[in-house]
């Protein structure tokens, strides 16, 4: 499950920019938010440098699903790509998913476990949700984003009341209208940064994040040290800006491509968590029981197996529909 060094990828900013189609860059409210983002250019550039690897990870996931690249910017509007813990029944993680939404799309929330803080799982769940909304609203990006923020029921009621489907003119809560404007402003900035006087930070292939599923448990602090990575950045990329983070065997870590060869040389006991510090993280037990929101593509990524193998082991094809409670084999 430890991958080989991945092949070179296209320029990450080109991947994002080629898929952005911002509208209304000269609209007064979009200009206002664009100016707010660039009000302190050095601060904006610093934050962008921090979260660029995560943005690129999300951008690749969005591209693989053939969704609009504007969806890659949602975590910036939601949380600036920080994995904030939730409070009570509030949202959490860089996608700021509510507990009920997270559970509906296959994440565990509660009992000392919150998958919303796991950037890989949360991204897969959020994109599953966005993919469903994208289909529900007939591939309209504005309506899809509005529904992600306000709920599909509220957006459908607004459409019926207004008699049209223009997301910018629907009678939606002000917070949702602002949400759409912020996303437009960011899309304008990232599409043509030179037009607004700032530069996108370099993100060489060696710094780009790859999903690595470790076959042994690990503590984030010890793993960062073993990989010779700054602990704060490694923890931020793996969903724990504060507090302990220990994961069981089978957990998907985000690791810079340049450090992947080091993983094969690790001695598992040197990164092992302290006794009692582990939280469950979907170890590969040989089978998986299908939950709501699961897709074959998502499961192949989660367990580090090829999609074609997963299909063959379970006598399925790419058009097969999963049933909740169905048991899938994860090995021959």
In the predicted structure, residue 155 carries a pLDDT above the cut 50: yes
pLDDT at 283: 40
Question: Of 50, 61, 78, 210, which one is the catalytic site residue?
Answer: 78
Span 75-102, average pLDDT? 90
Q: Which of the residue ranges 43-47, 57-61, 182-186, 251-255 would you say has the lowest mean pLDDT?
A: 43-47
Q: Does residue 78 carry a catalytic annotation?
A: yes
Model's pTM, two decimal places? Answer: 0.80
Q: Are the C-beta atoms of residues 205 and 82 closer than 8 Å to each other?
A: no
Q: Are the C-beta atoms of residues 155 and 165 closer than 8 Å to each other?
A: no
How crowded is residue 239: how many other Cβ atoms within 10 Å of its Cβ? 25
Angle at 234 between CA 231 and CA 239, to 5 degrees: 120
Pairwise CA distance, residues 212 & 236, whole Å: 16
Q: How far is CA 157 from CA 23, 162, 169, 170, in A?
A: 24, 9, 13, 10
* Tokens 């090829």, residue located: 306
φ, ψ of residue 108 to 5 degrees: the values are: -90, 130
- Domain ranges, ordered by start, for the chain: 12-196, 205-271, 287-329
Thinking of the domain 287-329, which architecture would CATH place it in? Roll (3.10)
Q: Kindly report the average pLDDT of the chain as a whole number.
A: 88
In the predicted structure, residue 241 carries a pLDDT above the cut 50: no
The token pair at 214 is: 């470790």
Closest CA to 252 of 218, 285, 275, 221: 218
Closest CA to 296 of 128, 115, 69: 128
Fold (topology level) of 12-196: Lysozyme (1.10.530)
Span 144-151, average pLDDT? 97
pLDDT at 268: 94
In the predicted structure, residue 281 carries a pLDDT above the cut 50: no
């Amino acid at each position: 499950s430890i991958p080989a060094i991945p092949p070179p990828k296209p320029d990450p900013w080109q991947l994002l920019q080629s898929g952005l189609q911002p509208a209304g860059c000269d609209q007064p409210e979009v200009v206002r938010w664009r100016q707010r983002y660039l009000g302190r250019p050095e601060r904006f550039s610093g934050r962008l440098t921090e979260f660029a690897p995560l943005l690129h990870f999300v951008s690749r996931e969005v591209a693989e699903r053939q969704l609009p690249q504007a969806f890659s910017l949602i975590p910036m509007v939601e949380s600036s790509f920080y994995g904030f813990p939730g409070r009570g029944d509030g949202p959490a993680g860089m996608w700021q998913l509510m507990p009920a939404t997270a559970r509906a799309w296959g994440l565990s929330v509660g009992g000392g476990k919150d998958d919303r803080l796991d950037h890989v799982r949360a991204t897969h769940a959020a994109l599953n949700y966005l993919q469903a909304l994208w289909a529900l609203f007939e591939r309209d990006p504005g309506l899809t984003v509005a529904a992600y923020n306000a709920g599909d029921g509220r957006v459908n009621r607004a459409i019926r009341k207004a008699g049209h489907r223009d997301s910018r003119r629907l009678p939606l809560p002000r917070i949702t209208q602002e949400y759409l404007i912020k996303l437009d402003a960011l899309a304008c900035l990232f599409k043509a940064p030179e037009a607004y006087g700032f530069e996108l930070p370099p993100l060489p292939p060696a710094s780009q994040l790859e999903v690595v599923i470790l076959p042994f448990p690990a503590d984030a602090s010890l793993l960062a040290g073993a990989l010779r990575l700054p602990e704060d950045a490694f923890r931020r990329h793996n969903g724990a800006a504060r507090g302990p983070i220990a994961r069981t065997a089978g957990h998907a870590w985000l690791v810079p491509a340049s450090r992947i060869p080091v993983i094969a040389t690790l001695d598992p006991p040197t990164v092992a968590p302290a006794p009692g510090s582990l939280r469950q993280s979907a170890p590969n037990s040989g089978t998986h029981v299908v939950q709501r929101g699961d897709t074959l593509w998502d499961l192949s990524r989660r367990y580090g197996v090829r999609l074609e193998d997963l299909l063959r082991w379970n006598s399925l094809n790419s058009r097969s529909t999963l049933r909740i409670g169905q048991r899938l084999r994860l090995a021959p």
